[in-house]
Structure 1
Amino acid sequence: MQGVWVCNGGVSVRGVWPGHEEQVGALARELGFRHVSLSSAVAGMVRAVPRGYTACADAYLTPCIHRYLESFRAGFAHQLRARGHDTARHVLACFGGAGGQHACAIARALGMSRVFIHKYSGILSAYGLALADVVHEAQAPCALRYEPAAFPWLDGRIAALERECRDALRAQGFTGEQIRTEAFLHLRYEGTDCALMCSAKGHPPTPRSCRAGDFHAAFTSRYLVEFGFTIPDRAMVVDDVRVRGTGSSGISCETPLAPSGKPARVETVTRCYFEEGYLETPVFLLEELACDHTVPGPAIIIDKNSPGERGGGGMGGAGGFGVGWEPPPEGLPRPPAEQMGRILQRTAISTNIKERLGFSCALFGPDGGLVSNAPHIPVHLGAMQETVQFQIRNLGADLREGDVILSNHPCAGGSHLPDLTVITPVFWPGVPKPVFFVASRGHHADIGGITPGSMPPHSKALREEGAVFVSFKLVKDGVFQEEGGSALGWRDAGSAVFDFSGSGPEVYGNCNAPRAITLSALIYCLRCMVGQDIPLNQGCLAPVRVVIPKGSILDPSPEAAVVGGNVLTSQRVVDVIFRAFGVCAASQCQGFWG
C-alpha cells in the first residue's frame, strides 16, 4: 500500500482541528500505508474542499515521485558502478526550470554530497548550443594484436584518420588552431568479447607503444577499474581505430563572482512545503549572491532564467559561475552481490551467463552463513550457503589466501552438475581465517554427461551426468590451475519445524533433490509469504528447524542421480510448502527454478 489522504471537514474558530486527522493517520500507518497525507499538514486552511484536493494530490504524487527517484537511482547508479565509478565522488549538475526542485532528493538517492546549478541553468540548452564544440569522428576496422609489429600500421591509420577529421572541420569554418584530435583504440583481451574504447590521454608514448600513446597501460588501467582484475599474460586485440576531431569556438562568457564580505540578503520569507511539512523558508536572489555566501537550507534561490531552485536541508552557496548545494547524506550503497553479478555478466563468454543470466552471486560470513545476495536465480541462492559451509568443514586450515574453490557435487551443497560454484575466501591482514566468502554459481552448457547438455533424461548414477568436483582448487596461492513430494509439519509460534520425515526413498532415476535444494525451496517459500522486501540471509532460517531423513528423495546418497531433482522435485517441494500454509493453489506454484 503506497499512499492515503486524510481530510477532516471540521474547523474551529482558529482554523483546522488536526487531532482527528492525526489519529486516522496513525491508524493508516499501522495498516501499512507508506505515505499518509494529512490535509491539516499539507494545506493548513479552513476550506475543506481545496484542502482535500491538495491532500489527495500529495498522497498520489509523492509515492510516484519516490518510485521514480528509486528507479532512476537504481539504473543510473548501477550503470556507473558497473564501470567502476562511485556516484558519491561525483557532483550532480542541475539545469532546467524544475531541476532545482528535485536536485537535492536525487543527490541524496545517489549518495552525492554536492549539487552544482549553473547560473544559466534555465537556458542552458540554448546557451550551450551557441558555445558547443563541433565533433567529427572517423573510424576504421582492425583485427591486429596490439604488439610492436602492428605499431607502424596503427600509427599510419591514426594519422590518416586525423587528416580526415581536420579536413571535415576545416570545411565547417574552423581554423587549424581551433581543431584538436584524440586517438582511440577499441581493445580487448584475446579470447574475450568485452572490448573497451580506450584513449591514451594521460599515458604518454614509450619505446614499446604507438606514437599516439601507451594504449597498453590505458587499457590495463581502465580494465582494472571496471572489472577489478587484469590478465597480464594475455595478448590484446585491436578491433577498431577511432579518431575524434573537435572544433572549439573559443568563446568564453564566464565572469568570476567577487566576494561581498557581507552576509547574503534575504529578499523575503515564505511558507514552503517540504517533506517535513510547511517550513518558514528564506528567499534569495541569485543575482545578489557572491562567492563567499553560504545559505543554510531549506531555502529558495530565484533566478531570472528559471522559476526557482530550492533544496531541503544541507548548505548552499554561490561559486565562481553558479550555485553549489550540499544536501545531507542519505541511504546505503547497493548490495555488492549485484555488482558481482554485473561484472560476471560483462566478463563472461558463455551465452548461458551473458545472455540467459543463468547465474547467481552472494556474500557469506566467516561461518558460511548467507549475508547478502542479488535477486538472481532462487534455486541457487539458498543452496550456495550449504556449499560454502561444506568447504569450510572439508578444507578447514587448508583454505588459504589466494585460493579459489570449484565445486558441484550434490553432497557438497550442489544442485546438479552443470551448476558450477566458485568460492573465494577473503582474508584480512593479521587474521588467520577468512573474514568472509564470495561465491557465484553458474549453469554451464555441458559438463561431460552421457548426453549433450549434461541433462540426461534416463541417468541412473551421478557419474552419467558429468564431471564431479567436490573441493577442487581452481586457483591455488594466486596461480590459476589450468591442468589441473512429502509430508510437512509446521507450527506458528515465532519459529517453525519443517518435517519431511514422510518423504519417499531415494529413487533409481534422476529426480532426487540434494538437501541444499530442499533448503533453497524452503527459504524461497518463506520469503514469498512474508510479504515484505526482507534481506535473504542466514537469519531467515535461524528460527526454523528442518528435518530431512537421510537416503530420502530430498537427501539422497552421494552416488544418486540428481539432474531432474533440481528442476522438477524442487517445484514439488515449493507446492507442498505453499499448500501446507494454504496460500495458493499448486497450479500457481511455478517459476522457482528460473
Structure 2
Amino acid sequence: MFKLRVDTGGTFTDCWALAEGESHPRLAKVLSSGRLRVPVREWTGETELTITVPSGWRTGDTFFTGYKLESGGESALVLSYSAREARLVLSRPVPKRDSIDLFTREEAPVLGARLLTGTPLDRPFPEIEFRLATTRGTNALLERKGAKVALFVTSGFADLPIIRDQRRADLFALRHERPAPLFSSVMEVDERIAADGRVLKGLSPDANLNDRALELLEAGIDVAAVALLHSHRNPVHEIALRDHLLALGFAHVSTSAELAPLVKILPRLETALANATLQPVMQAFVDHHRERFSGESRLLMMTSAGGLEPMEQFRPKDSLLSGPAGGVSGAAAIAEELGFERVLTFDMGGTSTDVARYDSGFQYDFEQRVGNARVLAPALRIETVAAGGGSICRWVEGGLRVGPESAGAQPGPACYGLGGPLTITDVNLLLGRIDPANFGIPLTSSNLEDARRAALDLQRLAGIGGEEPDSGFLSGLLDLAVEQMADAVRTISVREGADPSEYALLAFGGAGPLHACAIAERLGISTILVPGEAGLLSAYGLECAGIERFAERQIDRVVDDPGIGEIFSTVENEALESLAAAGERGTITRRIAELRLTGQDATLTIEVIPSESLSDAFLNRYAAIFGYTPPAGRAIEVVSYRAIAGTGRKTGREAYAVDSARKPESTEGFFLNRNLLRTGDEVSGPRVIQDPFSTLYLAPKWTATLANNGSLVLTCQGYRGDRARSRPEAVERELFRHRFDHIVREMGTMLQRSAISTNVKERADFSCALLDGDGELITSAPHIPVHLGAMGLCVRKVRERVPMAPGDTLITNHPAAGGSHLPDVTLITPIFDRVGSPPVAYIANRAHHAEIGGITPGSMPPSATCLAEEGVVIAPRHLIREGESCFDEIAAILTNAPYPTRRLSDNLADLNAQLAANRRGAEMLESLLSEHGEEVVAEQFKHLKDRSLEALSHHLERFGDREVAAEETLDDGTPIRVSIQCRKGSLAISFAGSGAVHPGNLNATPAILQSAVLYVLRLWTQSPVPLNEGLMRAVSIDLPDGFLNPSFDEDPMLCPAVVGGNVETSQRVVDTLLKTLGIQACSQGTMNNFLFGDGNFGYYETICGGAGAGPGYDGASALHTHMTNTAITDPEILEQRYPVRLHRFSLRPGSGGGGRWHGGNGIIREIEFLAPLEVSLLTQHRIVAPYGREGGSDGQCGRQTLNGKLLPGIAAFAANPGDRLVIETPGGGGWGTADAESK
C-alpha cells in the first residue's frame, strides 16, 4: 500500500509518498491549479517537443497520453509520450514557448498522486492510504466562492451578522466598506429560549416560514444555516428546524449548537454560516478524490487541530487551517527526533508567515478569524503575519513599507518579468541569496534586470542615490520584514510568558530557512533546526499525525462544584465514542479546560491533569502571564472543557547523533547543494544551501551540521541579539515606527486579556499610548479616539503636580489633570534611562471603569450637577511608589468618597490589568533603550512627530489661506462655535462664542477638546501617520472659559459635572469641526450611552448609529463613528450576566439622510428588564438632526421610548420587571442633491 500525504495550498500542492518496501519518500510540488508547468528542452517539430521532467516524477511511457498541453494561450491533446526521450506528440500545432502547462480535469492532489505512484490516466490507482490537508475551504471563504446560503435566526436578530460588534475596522477612515455577509437570504424565526435554557416561546413552523423556505428552494438556495439564541443551552429548536428544512428539500443544514455548543451567538452564527457556505464546495472536493481512488484506499482529512479524521465525517469548519497545522505537526515530529522539547516554528511562504510554539505538546485556540468570519473550531495556535516572499516593498506617505500587500503569483515579484513590483523575493535575489539557476522558475539576465530597476526606483524615492541597488538599503528592507515576523514569534511566546531565547527555531516552507538566521538573531535564539523536508513539511506532517476527535462542553460552574467531575467524564466518553465511530480505538490524549475569574470574560487554557489541582494550575498560570496574583475572594470558574481522544502521533526516524563534525566534500562556492552533504558534515556561513524545494541562507557566525534524520542543526558562535550595523535612515525610521507601534499594541492585548470587567474585556473601552520625554503623544494603538488625544495633556499635568522616580506608576481620573470623565482612569509610568535624570519617555493607558461610584449605578448620572455626584475623584497620586504598592490607599479613596464605588473588587482588578499593561510596555521600551540608547530613541520620537507635522503641512498647502466657520447646538440649545483660520501653513482654531458653563453634565475639558481636534486633523489629512502631537505643532487653539473649558475647584462638590462632556459633547465638537472644514455630512453625533444597575453592579454600553455620507460615498449603517469605537456585548453574554432580555437588535431603515449619497442608517435596540433596576440614558441628536451637506438631507433624530412612552434624550428612571425600553439611534446625514448626476 502507498502512503500518500498531500497539502494543497493556495498556490502550490506539496506531495509526500512512501511506497511499501521503500525507505526514502517520493516528493513533488505541483501547482494547486492542477497544472504541471515544465520547461521545454526543444521543439522538434510542429507537433512534437521534448521536455525537462523534474526529478522524482514517476512518468513512464504513455504517462502524459491523454493530457492537455497549453502553450501561448492555445491547447492541444497529448497523443503519445516517450519517457526515454521525454518526447510529447500533440494533436495540433500550438505556439512555441520556453515552458508549457500539462493538465487534466483532476484536482492537484490527484495529479500529485499520479506523479508519485506513476499511474497514467488509463490505469487505476494502487491501494493508497491518502491523507489530505487543504486551504480549499479557506480560499473559498476569502474569495466568496461558496454556496448561496439561507440564514434562519431568532426573530429580532436578522441584522446581527451585518451589525456584528458595531466597531469600525479603520479608526480614521471616512468611507467605511462593510464586507458582504456570507448569506444570500435571511429569515427570522418566531421562537425564544432563555439564557438558562428554558423555552419561552416554542417553535412552530408556520405557513409564512414554509412559503419562504419553498421560495428559497425554487431560487436555487438549498443550503441553510440555523443560529438561534441560547441554543448552546438548549438545542431543541435548532434540531427541530433543521429536520423541518431537510424535510422541505434543503440539501444541507448547519446548526450552530451542533457545530459549537458554546456561548456567544455572533461567533456561533458565523461558524454555522461558514460551515454551510463551504459544505457543497468541500463535499465536491472530497467526492472528487473518493471517486478517483480504489475502494480499498483509505482517505483521511487533516483538521485545523493537527489531527486526522475520515473524509466522510469531516466538517468544513474544522479544516480551514489544516495546511498550517500539518506544518506544525511535522515540525513537532522533527523536533522530537532531534531531542528538542521546545521549539518555535517558522513557516514562511509567498504571501504570509505562520509561527507557532511547541512545548512538549501543542497549544490550541478555539476561535479563529478567516477573513471577516469568526469560526469556532479547535485549531493549533498559529500566529499569521502578512509577510512572505511576495510582500511588496514600497514608499508610502514619506516612509518605507514592506507588506501587507503581496504580489501573489500574478504578476508576482519583479523578477518574474510580468511587470510586478519589488518584493522580498527580489531583494533576496539582488543580495545574492537566491541562485537564479536553481530558482523555482528559471531566471534570465532580463529577469534580474527587472528586479534591479524596481529596487532602484524605490531607492530613489527613499532619497538614496547610486546607479546600483544599495546593499544596505536592500538589507534594511529584509530587516523590516524580519521585524514583523519576529513580532509574530513574540506574540506566541512572550505574551504567553515564554522566553524565545530558551527555544530552538524550526524553520520550514520555501522561504523560512532563507530568513531563519535573521529571525533568530532578532530574538536571541542560538539554535535553528531546518528539516530535510523543509519545503514540503506540511505534507510530511500528515504522516506524523494521528486520528483524533474532540468533544467539548460549555460548563460555567465554579471550579469546586461537585458535579464538575461527572461533566468531565461525560465529555471524555463522548470523545472516545466519536473516535470509535471513526473505526479507531484510542485513549484520552489531552484534557483542556478554560478557566477564568468569575465576572471575567477572557479565559486561560489549562492542561487538566487528574491528579493535580485545577485551582492551583490556574493561579500559577495567571501570575506567570499577567505578573500579579488574582484579587482575593474572586471565585474561579470552569467555562468549558474539552477532551481529545486519539491514536497518538508518531515519529520514528533516527534521533540526532553526530560523533564528530567533519568538513563536507565537494562544496566549493557560495551556493551549496544540500544533497551533497552527508551526516556529520559541518558548514560555516555565509553560505546558501539549496534543495529542490527550499533555500537556506547561513549567515556569518552560524554553523550548520547535518543530523542523522536529514535535518540541518544551526548554531550561533557567540552572537546574541540584533546585529549593530549602519542602516539607511529611511529603513531605520520605519523599523522604529514599527517597534513603537508594537509596544502599544502589546499593551492593549495585555490589558484586555487580564482585565475583569465586561467594559474593558468585552467592549474594549480602553486606550494605550507611548509618549516622549516632553510628555507628548508619540503613538497609540487604534483604540478610542476620545482617550488618545488627551494622553499628552494628562501626562504633562500630572508631572507638574507629582514628582516622579524610577519604579513609579501614577494614577488619576481628575478632569483638571488632563482627565475626561471620572470612569476613565489613567495610569502613567515614567521611563528613566539614568538615575537622577528626568524621564525619557512615558507609558500610559486609560480604561473606562463601568462603576466608580456616583449617585447612579454605572457612574454616568444624567442628573448630576457637580463632579462629586458623578463618582470618586482621584487627584494625581501614586499607585506604585518606587516599586511599592499603594493599592490600599487607592482602595480607601474608592470606598470613602461621598458616593463610593459599588464594585471595589472590579476596580482593583482592572487597575491591576492596567498596571500589567504599563509594565509590559515599560519592559519593551526599556529593552529598546538598552539596545539603542536614549539619544537614538529620542531622535526617532522626534522624527515621528515631524512626519505627522509634514503630512498636515502638505494638506494645509492644498487647503490654502482662508477662514471658515460653523456652528452646531446641543439638543438643549447650547452653542458650539468654531472658526478656523489657515495662514502660511498654520491653523488657528477658535471656539469663541461657544456656550457658558453647562448646568448639567455636558461640560467638556481642554483634554477632550484636544482629542477632538487631533482626531479631526488626522481624519482630514487621510494620511497613514501615527496619531501624535506632531499634528498639533502647526495648530493653535483658542478656548475661552465656558462649557468647553470650565474651571475646577479643589472641592469636587464645587466642580462642574463632566460625564456627558466626554461622551456626548466630544462627538458634537467633532460634528462642528467637520462641518467647518466641509469634510463630510454629520454622523449620528452621539454615543447613545445606556446604563443600568442596582446597588451591587453597573452595566454600561454605547450604541452604534449611522455614519455621514461624503463626496463619492454613502455613509455606513450601524457603525460606531468618530470619538468612540467600543464593541457591544454579545446578546447571549448580556442576558447570561444581567437581568435583562434583548428582543431586538436591528437596522433602522430610512433613518439615514437622502441625497446623491445617502447617510447610513441607525439601529433599533429593544430591551426588557427582568428585575428592578436604575436606568440612565445620556444621548444627543434627539432634537437637533444630524446635518446633511451640499444639498443632502438630514439624518433622522434618535428617540427612545419606555413602554411606548417617549423619553427625553437625557433621562433616568426606575425600571420594573417587564418594562421595555426601545432605543432608536440617529442616522447619518446625506451628501449632495438627490437629482444630481446618478451614481
Question: What TM-score do you get using the length of structure 2 for normalisation?
Answer: 0.36
Choose the corresponding residue for 2:816, options 407, 411, 434. Answer: 411
2:990 aligned partner, one-letter code: F
Tell me if structure 1 keeps the 8 A contact 2:809–2:830: no
Which residue in the other structure is 2:1011 paired with?
A: 520
Tell me if structure 2 keeps the 8 A contact 1:566–1:593: no
Tell me if structure 2 keeps the 8 A contact 1:353–1:443: yes
- Tell me whether 1:215 sits opposite 2:614 in the alignment: yes
2:594 aligned partner, one-letter code: H
After TM superposition, give the deviation of residue 555 of structure 1 in Å: 1.7
**Can you list the C-alpha shifts for 1:263-306, whole angstroms capped at 9, x where unaligned?**
3345464xxxxxxxxxxx4223245154451331351322xxx4
- Tell me whether 1:235 sits opposite 2:635 in the alignment: yes
**Can you list the C-alpha shifts for 1:512-552, whole angstroms capped at 9, x where unaligned?**
431112222343455557776555556665x5674545514
- Tell me whether 1:593 sits opposite 2:1131 in the alignment: no
Which residue in the other structure is 1:252 paired with?
A: 652
Which residue in the other structure is 2:745 paired with?
A: 338
Which residue in the other structure is 2:791 paired with?
A: 384
Measure the CA separation in 1 of the matches of 2:1123 and 2:791: 14
* Matched residue SS, 2:630: coil
- Tell me whether 1:361 sits opposite 2:768 in the alignment: yes
* Matched residue SS, 1:119: coil
After TM superposition, give the deviation of residue 560 of structure 1 in Å: 3.9
Which residue in the other structure is 1:132 paired with?
A: 545
Tell me if structure 1 keeps the 8 A contact 2:534–2:693: no
- Give the alignment of 1:52-201 within 5 angstroms: 52=450, 77-78=490-491, 81-85=494-498, 90-97=503-510, 99-101=512-514, 115-137=528-550, 145-147=558-560, 150=562, 181-199=589-607
1:585 aligned partner, one-letter code: I
After TM superposition, give the deviation of residue 360 of structure 1 in Å: 0.8
* Matched residue SS, 1:301: strand
CA 219–300 in structure 1, closer or farther in 2 if over 3 Å, else same:
same
Measure the CA separation in 1 of the matches of 2:537 and 2:447: 40
After TM superposition, give the deviation of residue 317 of structure 1 in Å: 0.9
Which residue in the other structure is 1:347 paired with?
A: 754
* Matched residue SS, 1:212: coil
* Matched residue SS, 1:411: helix
After TM superposition, give the deviation of residue 374 of structure 1 in Å: 1.9
Measure the CA separation in 2 of the matches of 1:157 and 1:46: 65
1:336 aligned partner, one-letter code: I
Tell me if structure 1 keeps the 8 A contact 2:604–2:618: yes
Which residue in the other structure is 1:467 paired with?
A: 871
Measure the CA separation in 2 of the matches of 1:74 and 1:477: 34
* Matched residue SS, 1:389: helix
2:820 aligned partner, one-letter code: S
CA 426–300 in structure 1, closer or farther in 2 if over 3 Å, else same:
same
CA 256–452 in structure 1, closer or farther in 2 if over 3 Å, else same:
closer
After TM superposition, give the deviation of residue 197 of structure 1 in Å: 2.8
**Can you list the C-alpha shifts for 1:190-236, whole angstroms capped at 9, x where unaligned?**
332333231256xxxxxxxxx61133332122212332322152332
Question: What TM-score do you get using the length of structure 1 for normalisation?
Answer: 0.67
After TM superposition, give the deviation of residue 380 of structure 1 in Å: 0.8
* Matched residue SS, 1:124: helix
Which residue in the other structure is 1:22 paired with?
A: none
Which residue in the other structure is 2:886 paired with?
A: 477
CA 571–67 in structure 1, closer or farther in 2 if over 3 Å, else same:
farther
Measure the CA separation in 2 of the matches of 1:329 and 1:30: 26
Alignment root-mean-square deviation, CA = 5.4
Measure the CA separation in 2 of the matches of 1:265 and 1:132: 36
1:212 aligned partner, one-letter code: S
CA 113–555 in structure 1, closer or farther in 2 if over 3 Å, else same:
farther
**Can you list the C-alpha shifts for 1:360-404, whole angstroms capped at 9, x where unaligned?**
12245677554553221222112123333333444558x997876
After TM superposition, give the deviation of residue 257 of structure 1 in Å: 5.4
Tell me if structure 1 keeps the 8 A contact 2:665–2:676: no
- Give the alignment of 1:248-397 within 5 angstroms: 248=648, 252-256=652-656, 258=658, 261-265=661-665, 267=667, 269=669, 281-291=670-680, 293-302=682-691, 306-311=692-697, 313-314=699-700, 315-320=702-707, 321=709, 322-324=711-713, 329=722, 333=739, 335-364=742-771, 368-370=775-777, 372-396=779-803
Tell me if structure 2 keeps the 8 A contact 1:259–1:292: no
* Matched residue SS, 2:621: helix
2:796 aligned partner, one-letter code: Q
CA 452–82 in structure 1, closer or farther in 2 if over 3 Å, else same:
same
* Matched residue SS, 2:895: coil
CA 51–415 in structure 1, closer or farther in 2 if over 3 Å, else same:
same
CA 67–588 in structure 1, closer or farther in 2 if over 3 Å, else same:
farther
Measure the CA separation in 2 of the matches of 1:161 and 1:451: 44
After TM superposition, give the deviation of residue 68 of structure 1 in Å: 8.7
* Matched residue SS, 1:441: strand
**Structure with larger RCO (C-alpha < 8 A, sep 6+):** 1
Measure the CA separation in 1 of the matches of 2:656 and 2:530: 15
After TM superposition, give the deviation of residue 55 of structure 1 in Å: 5.0
**Can you list the C-alpha shifts for 1:450-505, whole angstroms capped at 9, x where unaligned?**
88877677x68345972251428796624361624334456657xx5746374545
**Can you list the C-alpha shifts for 1:46-77, whole angstroms capped at 9, x where unaligned?**
987994598569989x9999999887766675
CA 190–507 in structure 1, closer or farther in 2 if over 3 Å, else same:
closer
1:345 aligned partner, one-letter code: Q
Tell me if structure 2 keeps the 8 A contact 1:316–1:323: no
2:622 aligned partner, one-letter code: Y
Which residue in the other structure is 1:551 paired with?
A: 1041
CA 166–260 in structure 1, closer or farther in 2 if over 3 Å, else same:
same
* Matched residue SS, 1:264: coil
Measure the CA separation in 1 of the matches of 2:1075 and 2:648: 70
Measure the CA separation in 2 of the matches of 1:230 and 1:90: 26
Tell me if structure 2 keeps the 8 A contact 1:88–1:110: yes
1:198 aligned partner, one-letter code: I
Tell me if structure 2 keeps the 8 A contact 1:388–1:423: no
1:264 aligned partner, one-letter code: P
Measure the CA separation in 2 of the matches of 1:224 and 1:92: 26
Measure the CA separation in 2 of the matches of 1:478 and 1:451: 25
Measure the CA separation in 1 of the matches of 2:1043 and 2:681: 74
CA 235–365 in structure 1, closer or farther in 2 if over 3 Å, else same:
farther
Tell me if structure 1 keeps the 8 A contact 2:664–2:678: yes
CA 200–437 in structure 1, closer or farther in 2 if over 3 Å, else same:
farther
Tell me if structure 2 keeps the 8 A contact 1:265–1:284: no
* Matched residue SS, 2:600: coil
**Can you list the C-alpha shifts for 1:157-177, whole angstroms capped at 9, x where unaligned?**
76787788778879989999x
CA 55–103 in structure 1, closer or farther in 2 if over 3 Å, else same:
farther
1:318 aligned partner, one-letter code: T
Uncovered stretches (5+) of structure 1, i.e. residues with no partner:
1-27, 202-210, 270-280
Measure the CA separation in 2 of the matches of 1:249 and 1:530: 55
Measure the CA separation in 1 of the matches of 2:568 and 2:395: 65
